[in-house]
């Protein structure tokens, strides 16, 4: 292209097959507009990405936790996907048994899980020695909890029998639950050590352990479920044993990292093996509401799953497929929420509530980027997502469930952006110590959701799709409540370490 001068005001641009008249004023305007756009981009990066509490600070902590949570989701997903190749009933049983297993652990996972925020606050306050002491108290709680949880196995089996699910699913569900619950100590201890590394911001260890567990789980599940390499085909029992072995491997990796030279010297691991009344009191004061919250929240989820499963085998399969994909969308956000909790806790421990607030908002923005991608997947490709779970042989239950599952899965696109706000703001409030408010709010909304589903599904018999739509509507109320709580700023005046 050649430039020709045609006077003081215009230029001619000529190429091989084109010519154009351009005014220098227009060129100046374009250049000015380009500079304005560049300045706006730099200002946006400066406001949102760089500096303490910005996206750049939160991503190294939150991203590995998102990957770790995603890996755990893939483990659950793999179990049900492999079992779906056998039949839809075993897939639904793994869903019911898995939900019940996690429900068994929820209180103690929530209680000891607050160790992440407590570790972060001690680290922010410069009291590194106390970080490992917090973990010792959490381990003590887990060890005491294990025999109590074993006593809950027969109670859970009795509740299964009263739930109204089909006898065939009931037998499989008991098998899966009993195996998982018998080895639950590995899950409890893995959660505690994950909290330590998320609290100190070394989440890459958690990510590596979770990724390794995902690979091990897929391998052992394939071998044990289908009977490969000389193993008998164990079906749903093989899925439970495979996941248990994967949890053991992940725990082993975290133990090696915990007792590494870096951890031993900076956090004085060897001196931490003692009961500390003050730290234990803090863990119970702030962790108890978190434990109660997660127990009642997941109880509500378990009841909702049971309501769908007890409606009919087809609705049970549709709900199982829906909740599988729902976990895919939500669990990585929970990992991001843990990262927000850690960073907010660290800044609150350092008495910088302004940076804690900025960290929370950075978490929301990061979550929105993730959720926008998910929105497109659920809205445009629900048929593809449902058909992944199609059995390898003709299955009339799946055939009847497919249209219901497609409609329910598409509805997930309605609330993925709400989840981004709910999970990150709740993580910020917990990190600051506002656990009583989050407990009351989440328990109320989750049980309200159960009531809405029950009325629509059982009282008015409006079907699974309408009932699921009503459940989504209650999430909007939860998002509004958390936004108001976050904006009023009371959480910024809390001081966990001095109470």
Pairing of strands 2-5, 11-14: antiparallel
11's tokens: 């230029």
pLDDT of residue 346: 84
Per-residue pLDDT, 4? 41
Q: Could you list the mean pLDDT of each consecutive 10-residue stretch along the chain, which spans 499 residues?
A: 43 47 52 59 56 72 74 81 85 85 89 90 88 95 95 87 80 92 95 92 89 93 91 90 94 94 84 92 89 87 86 87 83 81 84 88 86 88 90 81 92 84 90 87 93 94 92 90 90 77
Q: Which of 111, 128, 262, 265 has the alpha carbon at shortest distance from 195?
A: 111
List beta partners, residue 20: 13
CA distance 151 to 148: 5
Please report the pLDDT score of residue 38 as a whole number: 57
Question: What are the backbone angles phi and psi of residue 200, rounded to the nearest 5°?
Answer: -90, 0
Q: What is the pLDDT of residue 10?
A: 43
- pLDDT score at 289: 87
In this prediction the pTM is 0.74
Report the C-alpha gap between 78 and 75 in whole angstroms.
Answer: 5
Residue 41 burial class via C-beta count within 10 angstroms: exposed 0-12, middle 13-18, buried 19 and up: exposed
Q: How far apart are CA 95 and CA 86, in angstroms?
A: 15
* Cβ neighbour number for residue 270 with a 10 Å cutoff: 10
Locate 137 and state its tokens.
Answer: 């108290």
pLDDT of the residue at 311:
87
Work out the angle at residue 150's Cα, subtended by the Cα atoms of residues 207 and 112, and round it to the nearest 5 degrees.
40
């Amino acid at each position: 292209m050649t430039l020709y001068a045609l006077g003081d005001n215009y230029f001619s641009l000529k190429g091989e097959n084109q010519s154009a008249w351009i005014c220098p004023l227009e060129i100046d305007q374009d250049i000015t507009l380009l500079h304005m756009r560049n300045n706006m981009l730099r200002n946006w990066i400066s406001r949102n990405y760089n500096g303490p509490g910005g996206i750049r600070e939160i991503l190294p902590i939150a991203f590995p936790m998102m990957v770790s949570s995603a890996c755990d989701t893939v483990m659950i997903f793999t179990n049900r996907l492999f079992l779906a190749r056998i039949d839809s009933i075993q897939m639904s049983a793994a869903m019911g048994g898995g939900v019940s297993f996690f429900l068994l652990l929820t209180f103690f996972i929530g209680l000891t899980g607050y160790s992440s925020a407590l570790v972060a606050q001690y680290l922010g306050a410069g009291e590194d020695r106390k970080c490992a002491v917090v973990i010792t108290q959490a381990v003590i709680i887990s060890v005491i909890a294990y025999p109590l949880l074993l006593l809950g196995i027969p109670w859970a089996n009795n509740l299964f029998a009263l739930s109204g699910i089909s006898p065939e699913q009931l037998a499989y569900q008991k098998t899966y639950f009993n195996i998982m619950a018998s080895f639950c100590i590995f899950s409890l201890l893995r959660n505690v050590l994950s909290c330590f590394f998320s609290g100190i911001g070394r989440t890459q260890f958690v990510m590596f352990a979770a990724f390794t567990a995902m690979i091990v789980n897929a391998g052992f599940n394939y071998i044990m479920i289908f009977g490969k390499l000389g193993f008998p085909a164990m079906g749903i029992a093989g899925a439970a044993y495979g996941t248990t072995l994967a949890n053991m491997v992940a725990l082993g990796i975290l133990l090696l990292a915990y007792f590494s030279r870096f951890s031993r010297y900076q956090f004085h691991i060897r001196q931490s093996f003692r009961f500390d009344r003050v730290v234990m009191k803090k863990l119970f004061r702030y962790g108890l509401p978190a434990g109660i919250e997660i127990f009642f929240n997941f109880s509500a989820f378990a009841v909702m799953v049971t309501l769908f499963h007890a409606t009919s085998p087809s609705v049970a399969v549709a709900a199982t497929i829906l909740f599988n994909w729902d976990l895919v969308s939500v669990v990585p956000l929970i990992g991001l929420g843990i990262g927000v909790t850690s960073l907010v806790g660290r800044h609150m421990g350092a008495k910088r509530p302004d940076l804690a607030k900025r960290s929370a908002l950075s978490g929301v923005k990061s979550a929105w980027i993730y959720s926008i991608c998910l929105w497109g997947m659920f809205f445009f490709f629900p048929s593809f997502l449902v058909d992944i779970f199609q059995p390898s042989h003709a299955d009339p239950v799946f055939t009847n469930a497919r249209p219901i599952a497609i409609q329910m899965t598409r509805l997930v696109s309605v609330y993925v952006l709400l989840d981004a706000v709910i999970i990150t703001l709740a993580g910020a409030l917990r990190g600051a110590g506002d656990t009583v408010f989050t407990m009351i709010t989440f328990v109320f909304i989750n049980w309200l959701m159960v009531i809405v589903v029950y009325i629509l599904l059982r009282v008015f018999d409006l079907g699974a799709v309408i009932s699921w739509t009503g459940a989504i509507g209650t999430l909007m109320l939860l998002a509004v409540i958390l936004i108001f709580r976050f904006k009023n700023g009371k959480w910024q005046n809390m001081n966990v370490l001095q109470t």
